[in-house]
């Protein structure tokens, strides 16, 4: 009967059976009679053992000459091996070289970040990027599952737009035939329109921001998940947000144990983040906490938080924390003012623990036509750009709320990585547009 072709990830179903696996060589060592091949097949990293007296002199010598990244078709028997991260190894009975490899630039030794980023197209093959991309995939999969089970439908926002909801300083301008267009910074205004049509909706798409500063948290191109809910106030939206984040963390804990192990990310830390509710603290109180700490002598009411402030605040709690009701001046125009205070909005940022900063920004939206028009005028925004958006308040306006999660922010935090560039396959950074 023909040999069954499998992926190493499915090993447990093939213990002590002979199978075929396509893969690449990552490292090897050999003695006179036995060779140990370190292999990867895209689904896992594992060891292959070759015995000279089993494969014959000629093949054994060829195997000893193989270079890193040679692509191979392997036939062998799967064995349990508790010493490996992965839990299985393969005893190779025959092997075919599909593609040889030149001297591979990424060796097992340490490389600098710039070198690795220049070789991102190859670096993706290494263990750490593998584990992060698998977790990224799990976060995306769990996002669809969560919103599906909560009754949301996915409605995508356009990427080419005529105006900018989050302000104009970080916009990418492009030509749109004989007019100007901008790459989307957020799909939110469109999601509001979609919520008025279909109630609970979410978008998942790229966002572009010409962030001029180099930080560990900002990409030029990143992916956002933006849910929007009709007939929903801010308080209830916070509950959706914390359920969503806890669900993402739980999904990674359930389905990415091997990947967390490869990253040395302690599941015990993540388990704390699945316990609800998350604490809530007002912006006013947050300012007090910063001032009383003595570490932020210049902080005053009205300031926006940077990375040090967000890190300090999050450290006061052992779970993600919502900071509520920011001053109007530091948040976008579309938010609804607090019912009893006219200096703050009904909004919240969710700050991740361990110094990862804001992962979600959200708010209840202004529903009143006249008030919204007034804000647009006060801010000197281009009124005609917002006619369609104002229409939403003319035809059956309802309370509605929504939020935006930065996918790579969430992944950087969940994986415990230092820099957001690791959380996206091909990062776009201030000085990097290639590969
Ligand atoms: P920050 O204060 O960190 O600059 P923001 O308040 O400008 O973020 P929002 O406009 O609220 O960001 O966007 C929603 C979410 O998108 C943020 O909470 C964050 O998770 C993510 N995000 C924003 N800017 C970036 C970026 N440049 N790179 C990666 N993710 C980002
Ligand atoms: Mg920003
Ligand atoms: Mg912010
Ligand atoms: Mg924000």
Q: How confident is the model over 38-66, as pLDDT tens digits? A: 999 999 999 999 999 999 999 999 999 99
Q: 348 CB less than 6 Å from ligand 1?
A: no
Contact of 35 with 28, CB cutoff 8 Å: yes
Q: What is the pLDDT of residue 83?
A: 82
Does residue 232's CB lie within 6 angstroms of at least one atom of ligand 1?
no
Give pLDDT, residue 166: 59
> Ligand 3 mean position to 361 CA, how many Å?
7
- How sure is the predictor about 215, in pLDDT bands with cuts at 50, 70 and 90? very high
Instruction: Determine the pLDDT at residue 87.
Output: 86
Residue 2 in this model has a pLDDT that exceeds 80:
no
Q: What is the mean pLDDT of the chain?
A: 96
DSSP per position, 77-122: EEEE-TTSSSSEEEEEEEEEEEE-----S--SS---HHHHHHTHHH
Check pocket membership of 402 for ligand 1, CB cut-off 6 A. no
The topology (CATH level 3) of 4-99 is OB fold (Dihydrolipoamide Acetyltransferase, E2P) (2.40.50)
ipTM: 0.99
For residue 429, pLDDT beyond 80: yes
- Asked if 274 and 250 count as a contact pair (C-beta separation under 8 A), the reply is yes
Distance 310 CA to ligand 3 centre (A): 10
Please state which CATH number belongs to domain 120-423. 3.30.930.10
Burial label, 260 (beta-carbon count in 10 A; 0-12, 13-18, 19+) = buried
* pLDDT at residue 167 in the model: 60
Mean pLDDT of 395-411: 98
Q: How far apart are CA 164 and CA 228, in angstroms?
A: 18
User: Is 358 close to ligand 1, i.e. is its CB under 6 Å away?
Assistant: yes
Q: Does the pLDDT value for residue 272 go beyond 80? A: yes
Q: How far is 434 from 269, CA to CA, in rounded Å?
A: 35
Q: What is the pLDDT of residue 85?
A: 74
Q: Is the CB of 360 under 6 A from ligand 1?
A: yes
Does 254 score more than 70 pLDDT? yes
Q: Which atom of ligand 1 is nearest to the CA of 360?
A: 18
* Model pLDDT for residues 68-106, shown as the tens digit of each residue: 999 999 999 999 988 877 789 999 999 999 999 999 999
Mean pLDDT of 313-326: 97
Average pLDDT over residues 144-173: 89
Examine the pLDDT at 169 and tell me if it is beyond 80.
no
CA distance 49 to 293: 58
Q: Decide: 240 and 229 in contact? Cβ < 8 Å.
A: yes
Q: Which atom of ligand 1 is nearest to the CA of 224?
A: 16
Instruction: Kindly identify the ligand whose nearest atom is closest to the C-alpha of 406.
Output: 1
Per-residue pLDDT, averaged over 135-158, amounts to: 98
Kindly provide the b/e burial profile for residues 243-256, where b requires at least 16 CB atoms within 10 angstroms of the residue's own CB. Answer: ebbbbbbebbbeeb
Cβ–ligand 1 distance for 328 under 6 Å, the answer: no
Average pLDDT over residues 280-289: 98
Q: Is the CB of 222 under 6 A from ligand 1?
A: yes
Looking from the CA of residue 304, the nearest atom of ligand 1 is 2
**d(C-alpha 304, C-alpha 71), whole Å:** 52
For residue 404, which atom of ligand 1 is closest to its CA? 14
Q: 227: how many CB neighbours lie within 10 A of its CB? A: 29
Alpha carbon nearest to ligand 1 atom 15, residue = 406
Per-residue confidence band for 168, with pLDDT thresholds at 50, 70 and 90: low
Percentage with pLDDT > 90 across the chain: 93
CB of 189 closer than 8 Å to CB of 165: yes
- Whether the CB of 406 sits within 6 Å of ligand 1: yes
Considering every ligand atom shown, identify the ligand nearest to the alpha carbon of residue 351 and give its number: 1
What is the pLDDT confidence band of residue 127, given thresholds at 50, 70 and 90? very high
**CB under 8 Å to 77, separation ≥6 — which residues?**
16, 17, 18, 19, 90, 91, 93
**What does residue 70 show for φ and ψ, rounded to 5 degrees?**
-60, 140
Residue 86, pLDDT score: 78
349 Cα nearest atom in ligand 1: 18
Q: What is the mean pLDDT of residues 250-270?
A: 97
What order of strands is seen across the sheet that includes strand 221-230? 153-154, 201-208, 221-230, 400-406, 357-364, 347-352, 321-324, 280-282
Residue found under tokens 């009904």: 346
**Per-residue confidence at 108, pLDDT binned at 50, 70, 90?**
confident
How many angstroms is it from 39 CA to the middle of ligand 4?
43
User: Which residue is closest in CA terms to ligand 1's atom 2?
Assistant: 358
Q: What is the pLDDT of residue 281?
A: 98
Are the CB atoms for 76 and 93 separated by under 8 Å? yes
**Averaged over 16-31, what is the pLDDT?**
96
Q: Specify the ligand 1 atom closest to the Cα of 305.
A: 2
Q: Where in the chain is the domain with CATH 2.40.50.140?
A: 4-99
Ligand 2 centre distance from Cα of residue 170 (Å): 9
DSSP assigned state of 383: G
Burial of 146 (0-12, 13-18, 19+ CB in 10 A): buried
CA of 235 to the centre of ligand 4 (A): 17
Q: How far apart are CA 288 and CA 156, in angstroms?
A: 40
Coil/strand/helix, residue 384: helix
Residues that place a CB less than 5 A from ion ligand 4: 361
Q: Give the integer Cα–Cα distance in Å for 55 and 63.
A: 10
Identify the band that residue 165 occupies on the pLDDT scale cut at 50, 70 and 90.
Answer: low
Pairing, β 201-208 against β 153-154: parallel
DSSP 32: S
**Is 166 touching ligand 1 by the criterion CB < 6 Å?**
yes
> What residues does CATH 3.30.930.10 cover in the chain?
120-423
Ligand 1 nearest-atom number relative to CA 219: 28
Distance 433 CA to ligand 1 centre (A): 20
Query: Which pLDDT value is given to residue 412?
Result: 98
Strand partners, 360: 350, 405
C-alpha 345/C-alpha 153 separation (Å) is 27
Cα 71 to middle of ligand 3, angstroms: 45
Q: Which atom of ligand 1 is nearest to the CA of 409?
A: 20
């Amino acid at each position: 009967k023909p040999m069954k072709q499998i992926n190493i990830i499915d090993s447990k179903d093939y213990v002590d059976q002979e199978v075929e696996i396509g893969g690449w060589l990552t490292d090897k060592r050999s003695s006179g009679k036995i060779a140990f091949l370190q292999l990867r097949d895209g689904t896992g990293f594992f060891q292959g053992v070759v015995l000279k007296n089993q494969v014959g002199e000629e093949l054994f010598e060829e195997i000893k000459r193989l270079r890193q990244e040679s692509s191979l078709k392997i036939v062998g028997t799967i064995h349990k091996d508790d010493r490996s991260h992965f839990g299985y190894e393969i005893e190779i009975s025959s092997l075919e070289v599909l593609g040889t490899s030149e001297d591979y630039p990424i060796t097992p030794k340490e490389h600098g970040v710039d070198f690795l980023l220049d070789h991102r197209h190859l670096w993706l093959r290494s263990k750490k990027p593998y584990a992060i991309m698998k977790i990224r995939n799990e976060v995306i999969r769990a996002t669809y599952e969560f919103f599906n089970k909560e009754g949301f439908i996915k409605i995508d926002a356009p990427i080419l737009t005529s105006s900018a909801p989050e302000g104009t300083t970080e916009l990418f301008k492009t030509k749109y035939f004989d007019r100007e267009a901008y790459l989307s910074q957020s799909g939110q205004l469109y999601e509001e329109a979609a919520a008025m049509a279909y109630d609970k909706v979410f978008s998942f798409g790229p966002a572009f921001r010409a962030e001029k500063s180099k930080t560990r948290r900002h990409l030029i191109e990143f992916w956002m998940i933006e849910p929007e809910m009709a007939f929903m106030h801010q308080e209830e939206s916070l509950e959706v947000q914390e359920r969503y984040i806890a669900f993402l963390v739980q999904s990674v804990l359930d389905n990415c144990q091997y990947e967390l192990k490869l990253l040395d990310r302690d599941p015990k830390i993540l388990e704390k983040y699945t316990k609800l509710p998350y604490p809530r603290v007002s912006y006013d109180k947050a300012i007090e906490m910063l001032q009383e700490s003595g570490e932020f002598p210049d902080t005053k009411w009205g300031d926006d938080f940077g990375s040090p402030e967000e890190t300090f605040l999050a450290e006061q709690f052992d779970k993600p924390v919502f900071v509520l009701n920011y001053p109007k001046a530091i948040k976008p125009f579309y938010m609804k003012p607090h019912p009893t205070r006219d200096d703050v909005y009904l909004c919240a940022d969710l700050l991740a623990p361990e110094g990862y900063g804001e992962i979600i920004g959200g708010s209840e939206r202004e529903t009143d036509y006249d008030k919204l028009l007034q804000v647009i005028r006060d801010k000197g925004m281009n009124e005609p750009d917002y006619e369609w958006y104002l229409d939403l308040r003319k035809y059956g306006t309802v309370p509605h709320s929504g939020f935006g999660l930065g996918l790579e922010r969430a992944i950087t935090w969940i994986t415990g990585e230092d820099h957001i560039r690791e959380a996206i396959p091909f990062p776009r950074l201030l000085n990097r547009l290639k590969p």
